[in-house]
Amino acid sequence: MPGNTFGTSFKITTWGESHGKGVGVIIDGCPPRIPLDEAVIQPMMDRRKPGGSSIASTSRKEPDKAIIMSGVFEGMTTGTPIMIMLHNKDADSGAYKPYADLFRPGHGDITYQAKYGIRDWRGGGRASARETAARVAAGAVARAILDREKISVSAYTTELGGIKAKKRDLDTVDQNMFCCPDADAAEEMVRRVTDVKKKGDSLGGIVEILARGVPRGLGEPVFDKLDAELAKGLMSIGAVKGVEIGAGFEAAGKLGSENNDPITPEGFSTNNAGGILAGISNGDDIVMRVAVKPIPSIAIEQKTIDRHGNPATISTKGRHDISAIPRINVVCEAMVCIVLADHLLRLTVDG
Amino acid sequence: MPGNTFGTSFKITTWGESHGKGVGVIIDGCPPRIPLDEAVIQPMMDRRKPGGSSIASTSRKEPDKAIIMSGVFEGMTTGTPIMIMLHNKDADSGAYKPYADLFRPGHGDITYQAKYGIRDWRGGGRASARETAARVAAGAVARAILDREKISVSAYTTELGGIKAKKRDLDTVDQNMFCCPDADAAEEMVRRVTDVKKKGDSLGGIVEILARGVPRGLGEPVFDKLDAELAKGLMSIGAVKGVEIGAGFEAAGKLGSENNDPITPEGFSTNNAGGILAGISNGDDIVMRVAVKPIPSIAIEQKTIDRHGNPATISTKGRHDISAIPRINVVCEAMVCIVLADHLLRLTVDG
Amino acid sequence: MPGNTFGTSFKITTWGESHGKGVGVIIDGCPPRIPLDEAVIQPMMDRRKPGGSSIASTSRKEPDKAIIMSGVFEGMTTGTPIMIMLHNKDADSGAYKPYADLFRPGHGDITYQAKYGIRDWRGGGRASARETAARVAAGAVARAILDREKISVSAYTTELGGIKAKKRDLDTVDQNMFCCPDADAAEEMVRRVTDVKKKGDSLGGIVEILARGVPRGLGEPVFDKLDAELAKGLMSIGAVKGVEIGAGFEAAGKLGSENNDPITPEGFSTNNAGGILAGISNGDDIVMRVAVKPIPSIAIEQKTIDRHGNPATISTKGRHDISAIPRINVVCEAMVCIVLADHLLRLTVDG
Amino acid sequence: MPGNTFGTSFKITTWGESHGKGVGVIIDGCPPRIPLDEAVIQPMMDRRKPGGSSIASTSRKEPDKAIIMSGVFEGMTTGTPIMIMLHNKDADSGAYKPYADLFRPGHGDITYQAKYGIRDWRGGGRASARETAARVAAGAVARAILDREKISVSAYTTELGGIKAKKRDLDTVDQNMFCCPDADAAEEMVRRVTDVKKKGDSLGGIVEILARGVPRGLGEPVFDKLDAELAKGLMSIGAVKGVEIGAGFEAAGKLGSENNDPITPEGFSTNNAGGILAGISNGDDIVMRVAVKPIPSIAIEQKTIDRHGNPATISTKGRHDISAIPRINVVCEAMVCIVLADHLLRLTVDG
């Protein structure tokens, strides 16, 4: 059954495999007359690009040049489907040949094989993180819609390898390798990553996403609540194992009198709700966090089985990130942009 | 825009308000020839019912008698839509009159008013937890489908008011007031709830949901991943502020070599993945946890505003639960049953 | 798989069988603050009601009293799902008992049995025309939305039993038994129906639906074209075997120079397009016609088989209409109202 | 709002404009392990190609080389989205420049401008028949699914320019320029087209589509009836103004005793139903017909207005077909293949 479409009014459908001809996305539902060209999209693509400044990234070089194939005329969207394509370039399938018959632990190899009875083993095929490049391209278009409403979305690292950011100094996010809002923690993270890299292991962390300027009224109860759709969008990113909003799991330990956000004529005094009440945005900042698991491909030898059920060991020597962070941050940002643009466009004249 | 439908192949649409004529659900996509009558549904309804054994519950009496209105003939489903109705009985709208113009903190009053410009203030209207009764009815039908495949789903309390279960002794879950798999913790929870009740405050907690017997292959990548849909379904429950699967937020602090689940010919050695890899069930137990916020309606006076923006105070004296736990447990169970039944029915002959 | 939902922004889901407890509909997506009560709905229900003035109708008495169960507060819609219920009253299931094992020709008995392996044989079950009562209730709500935009929709009989209306005198539609816009043809129709009734046979005909005041811009290319959605909505009515728009099948025999509608500053000079160009309304009247097959239940003996494949004969003696016309007219009207309301609500601020 | 997706289980989303970089389609939901490569798709593309044998076609040369971009591995589908791309080659946008500000009668120029406030005027942009190339590519994949079930679908011309086929000699369909199952009528059609071509005018006609081998049980009542979905799919083709099934509009003039198809142990004695009862396939041939309007672009001068509402005249001198027939036949075939494959895949194990 189909499962590659997301959204209702701003509807994206992605295609492509890690080592096929390319990946891409159709955006259906983008309003007409929005200025759009490749230059609007590329900066977000570049943030997802491997081989960037971060020592945590693979050395695979994907230029990730977004090409708009349709839906734009003379620099403006026309209201028709926008197809954005990214050719695959530096795909080294040979490196995956030894694993063609092995199920890599922590990857979808075993489940894809079980579900489909066939599997493009080159670089993880459809289950590769390469698929998120198409999401980021769509996210850039979603952001163009949010920009008109002065809604901003940013994602940053609040934990990496057990090192927690103790501050939310957003100005420093762009100034360190791990996009951390705490410069001191960022330095510790460098040490932690360097250490783990040497050991051939990998790390997870936590990314926080902050949306500002979201008007009241976004979200469609009772199932398409704004937080429910954000949770789905974020959890659909391969490495994400948990999602929380506002106080999140900490809310579980609070008293009602602590957790309720008092309402004053000037707005909410606190934001434990994370900007959403009963599934509808309340005008406050939307704050979410996702748990990112460590990259499963590691140089350390692991137990597994082959396609026929025989025991085997595997040690992944390919070009892999040590952590999905910080490359995953822009993917989270993209998904939040997509959900917000979708719900903005789901608003009818009457609410 | 519509938002009251959930699921693709097992599709449910709920209707109804807390103090209207009733609540209900249409289930579209239930396979034919499944034995079904009210007796199949009622036991799950009874677990959600207020005024049960738990000291945390409201004394409002909802008999919550599920009536099957269509889709069943001579005790068997026919493949046509099943409408299940629950009449509202003991709805005391008068108690809400004083709040008709006030926005209760932590509730959807302020956002419904902003979104729709009109609001059924009686008992929270559509945003009331009463809406979940319809989900539970649908969950009971979903469970009938899972039963045929020997898939079981259970939810239990692993934290309440800061008291954590240290064991997973599932046999004790039915033997204590809070459905806790740790009898000692359950006793502490009683003390905690009694204490907080006296103070007019409320509590949150954590519910774990465990699905056993799920075959490999459920879930549709890349957006309709099984975990993404479970996250959406669970986050769409009003009181839920966080969702995690397997190791969840703890995965963020682990090394790849710790977090990967080694694969052996007998299965996975550990289950940090929580039974899902790349969005597809891997045959292992599916384990999820949700963070439940404290009930926002408390006797303690809180700051708020009225519909016109004037400052006010509010102290909710109605019949309210101290904690959504344990009544919410069966709602979580229902949502997981619905998502699993849906994905079971999304499987085509070819996968 | 589910198939009982129609529409995207104004989304209806119907439930119920001919001889079950009732039939009904959930409308999800109705805008808030629209005045609505049962009195708004009942007049359309009454036009579908059997045993009316027409000699072509069954004597079964269905009061078809529409009850609003949710989504309305103090006489106004709230933006939440509207469930409308119609209890079944005068259902004479005993009359169907003899056919419990027979497949009535022209009915869905044989296909429901094949598809589901079980079948509610009482009065046709879900496949009964009774199901359309729920559509008409939804159509009445859709019409309330269209009224605000001054869009009108009317259906009338242009052919019955081979007698064709030669005029479109819409004022006479309400003044004759068959809702025919040609008083002379209507008289001939009476004779034709009386004659065929005596013989125990039945008749088909053609219904034309006219929508006026539809603004430019409704319809979403390329698959959800306005005419494509209207065709689906109308063809989904059981008795309908053909749908055409504007010049319809006559367009097939025309020259381009005849069929094109010249455009002038005052509008289109002709309306062969039927008000839709490239799937989008052009501001002109929308004109459609549907072919209605003769009622398959006839007193004349017909060949058939039973559930086990044995040959049999059948002669339906129940209370049946001679023709679906004119009761079907309001069903066509309802479906067109629903499609137009849906597309009106699919319009975003930007088009 | 989005409108470029069709289907539920076999879900296609098309993109692209007539004179942009290309057109294409994502197919989501194709089962895994179906042999597929470009050679499977190309023959259907070639039948849609302009400049073929027919004197009715434009001389524009579109090689229409289908390229599979994803979803296929080592010659087999993998269950992941299949993107098929067709580059635009011989697009002569210059020829459209004079009409950039004019609304061509019978085209979507005026409605796209009204809806979106912007319009890619080059060759009709998204509203061009070029869009159907993507549907045909998807239809070829759908056909590969039907082939496994021994379901065949063919479309042929039963009327062109008023000349009606009096026979259904399907063997001759491939042997004449207009794909007509009546060799004599085909000769008359040649004369008619030649004559009208000289006059700078254009012609419409009727295409019949026949599906054989469809098993009982396809179609999801009550809105997603098989005939309702076929009607939508066919009506969504730009030039189609009417759709009928089985006896179609002729059923309107028949008696019930004539129109009912008697059932015998060997099957149905007649096929007025066109293979569908109550929206579900009955195992008999599915027979549908569509009315195709004459090509609106004609050399004869026509009245119109420009974008500012000023009166103007237009005479289209570009490379245009005289009739959409026979190129549209394969598009009808493709849509029927897509609907049937979709409903085949909507079947669950239980019906």
Q: Which of A222-226, B61-65, C54-58, C103-107 has the lowest mean pLDDT?
A: C54-58
Neighbours of chain B (3+ CB pairs under 8 A): A, C, D
**Cβ of B279 and A238 within 8 Å?**
yes
SS3 of C108-147: CHHHHHHHHCCCCCHHHHHHCHHHHHHHHHHHHHHHHHHH
Q: What integer is the mean pLDDT of B96-119? A: 93
Q: Which of A28-42, B316-330, C138-152 has the lowest mean pLDDT?
A: B316-330
Task: Output the domain CATH number for residue B221.
Answer: 3.60.150.10
Burial class (CB in 10 A: 0-12, 13-18, 19+), C310: exposed
pLDDT digits (tens, 9 = 90+) for A270-295: 999 999 999 999 999 999 999 999 99
Among C5, C24, C32, select the one facing B118 at the smallest CB separation.
Answer: C32
Range of the domain at C333: 5-350
**What pLDDT score does D351 carry?**
45
**What pLDDT score does D319 carry?**
63
**Cβ of D350 and B221 within 8 Å?**
no
What is the overall mean pLDDT for chain C?
A: 94
For the cut 80, the answer to whether the pLDDT of residue C51 exceeds it is no
Neighbours of chain C (3+ CB pairs under 8 A): A, B, D
Count of beta carbons in the 10 Å neighbourhood of residue C120: 27
Report the sign of the C-alpha dihedral through residues B349, C2, C7, C11, in that order. negative
Tell me the nearest-neighbour CA distance from C68 into chain D, angstroms. Answer: 22
The CA R_g of chain A, rounded to the nearest whole Å, is 21
- The size of chain B, in residues, is 351
Chain B residues whose CB is inside 8 A of the D348 CB are 9, 31, 345
Higher pLDDT, B49 or B146: B146
**Cβ of C256 and D296 within 8 Å?**
yes
Chain D residues whose CB is inside 8 A of the A3 CB are 28
**Cβ of B70 and C23 within 8 Å?**
yes
Tell me the nearest-neighbour CA distance from A222 into chain C, angstroms. Answer: 9
Chain B residues whose CB is inside 8 A of the D351 CB are 31-32, 79
**Cβ of B274 and A241 within 8 Å?**
yes
What phi and psi values does residue B2 have, to the nearest 5 degrees? -65, 150
Among B201, B305, B347, select the one facing A257 at the smallest CB separation.
Answer: B201
- The size of chain C, in residues, is 351
Q: What integer is the mean pLDDT of C116-145? A: 96
**Cβ of B345 and D348 within 8 Å?**
yes
**Cβ of B350 and D221 within 8 Å?**
no
pLDDT digits (tens, 9 = 90+) for B313-342: 999 876 678 999 999 999 999 999 999 999
Chain B residues whose CB is inside 8 A of the C2 CB are 8-9, 11, 28-29
Q: What integer is the mean pLDDT of D97-107? A: 92
- Structure token pair of residue D173: 């369909």
Burial class (CB in 10 A: 0-12, 13-18, 19+), B296: buried
Tell me the nearest-neighbour CA distance from A23 into chain B, angstroms. Answer: 13
Tell me the nearest-neighbour CA distance from D69 into chain C, angstroms. Answer: 22
Among A31, A221, A350, select the one facing C350 at the smallest CB separation.
Answer: A31
Q: Are strands D22-28 and D82-87 parallel, antiparallel or unpaired?
A: antiparallel
For the cut 80, the answer to whether the pLDDT of residue C101 exceeds it is yes
- Structural domains in chain C (count): 1
**What pLDDT score does B2 carry?**
97
Assign A202 a pLDDT band (cuts: 50, 70, 90). Answer: very high
| Pairwise CA distance, residues B279 & B283, whole Å | 12
Chain B residue closest in CA terms to D345: B348
pLDDT digits (tens, 9 = 90+) for B246-268: 999 999 999 999 999 999 999 99
**What pLDDT score does C317 carry?**
74
**Cβ of A278 and B127 within 8 Å?**
yes
Chain C residues whose CB is inside 8 A of the D117 CB are 350-351
Cα→Cα distances C173→C150, C186, C331, Å: 21, 9, 16
What phi and psi values does residue C93 have, to the nearest 5 degrees? -65, -30
**What pLDDT score does C351 carry?**
44
**Cβ of C110 and D236 within 8 Å?**
no
**Cβ of A236 and B217 within 8 Å?**
no
Q: What integer is the mean pLDDT of D69-89? A: 97
For the cut 60, the answer to whether the pLDDT of residue D137 exceeds it is yes
Tell me the nearest-neighbour CA distance from B74 into chain A, angstroms. Answer: 32
Q: What integer is the mean pLDDT of D97-117? A: 94
Report the sign of the C-alpha dihedral through residues A263, A268, A269, A272, in that order. positive
Assign C324 a pLDDT band (cuts: 50, 70, 90). Answer: very high
Q: Are strands B286-292 and B205-212 parallel, antiparallel or unpaired?
A: antiparallel
Q: Which helix (H) or strand (E) holds A259?
A: helix A256-259
pLDDT digits (tens, 9 = 90+) for C225-234: 999 999 999 9
Mutation target vs B (from C9, C10, C118; most B CBs, 10 A cutoff): C118
- Structure token pair of residue B158: 């692993």
Chain A residue closest in CA terms to C344: A348
Count chain A–chain D contacts defined by CB atoms under 8 A.
Answer: 145
**What pLDDT score does D91 carry?**
63
**What pLDDT score does A194 carry?**
95
Tell me the nearest-neighbour CA distance from C310 into chain D, angstroms. Answer: 6
D142 HSE (CA, 13 A, CB side): 35
Chain B residues whose CB is inside 8 A of the D9 CB are 348
**What pLDDT score does B21 carry?**
96
Tell me the nearest-neighbour CA distance from B60 into chain D, angstroms. Answer: 39
Mutation target vs D (from C293, C321, C345; most D CBs, 10 A cutoff): C293
- The size of chain A, in residues, is 351
Residue C98 neighbours by CB under 8 Å, 6+ apart: none
For the cut 50, the answer to whether the pLDDT of residue B351 exceeds it is no
Tell me the nearest-neighbour CA distance from B99 into chain D, angstroms. Answer: 38
Chain D residues whose CB is inside 8 A of the A349 CB are none
| DSSP 3-state of B31 | coil
Among B29, B67, B119, select the one facing C78 at the smallest CB separation.
Answer: B119
Amino acid at A279: G
Assign B89 a pLDDT band (cuts: 50, 70, 90). Answer: confident
Chain C residues whose CB is inside 8 A of the A26 CB are none
ipTM tops the 0.90 cut: yes
Tell me the nearest-neighbour CA distance from B255 into chain C, angstroms. Answer: 43
Report the sign of the C-alpha dihedral through residues A112, A116, A118, A122, in that order. negative
Q: What integer is the mean pLDDT of C49-59? A: 64
Q: Which of A58-72, D218-232, D332-346 has the lowest mean pLDDT?
A: A58-72
Chain D residues whose CB is inside 8 A of the C259 CB are 106, 204, 293-294, 296
**Cβ of B236 and A223 within 8 Å?**
yes
A311 HSE (CA, 13 A, CB side): 9
Chain D residues whose CB is inside 8 A of the C230 CB are 235
**Cβ of A33 and C350 within 8 Å?**
yes
**Cβ of A73 and D5 within 8 Å?**
no
For the cut 90, the answer to whether the pLDDT of residue A99 exceeds it is no
Q: What integer is the mean pLDDT of D114-126? A: 94
For the cut 90, the answer to whether the pLDDT of residue B280 exceeds it is yes
Query: Quick one: how far is CA C155 from the chain centroid?
Result: 9
| Pairwise CA distance, residues A210 & B143, whole Å | 38
For the cut 80, the answer to whether the pLDDT of residue C50 exceeds it is no
Chain D residues whose CB is inside 8 A of the A79 CB are 115-116, 118
pLDDT digits (tens, 9 = 90+) for A64-88: 899 999 999 999 999 999 999 999 9
Chain A residues whose CB is inside 8 A of the B226 CB are none
**Taking an 8 Å Cβ-Cβ cutoff, which residues of chain A contact chain D?**
1-5, 8-9, 11, 13-17, 20-24, 26, 28-29, 32-33, 67, 69-71, 73, 76-83, 115-120, 125-126, 345
For the cut 90, the answer to whether the pLDDT of residue C52 exceeds it is no
**What pLDDT score does B63 carry?**
76
DSSP B1-25: ----EE-SSSEEEEEE-TTSSEEEE
pTM for the structure as a whole: 0.97
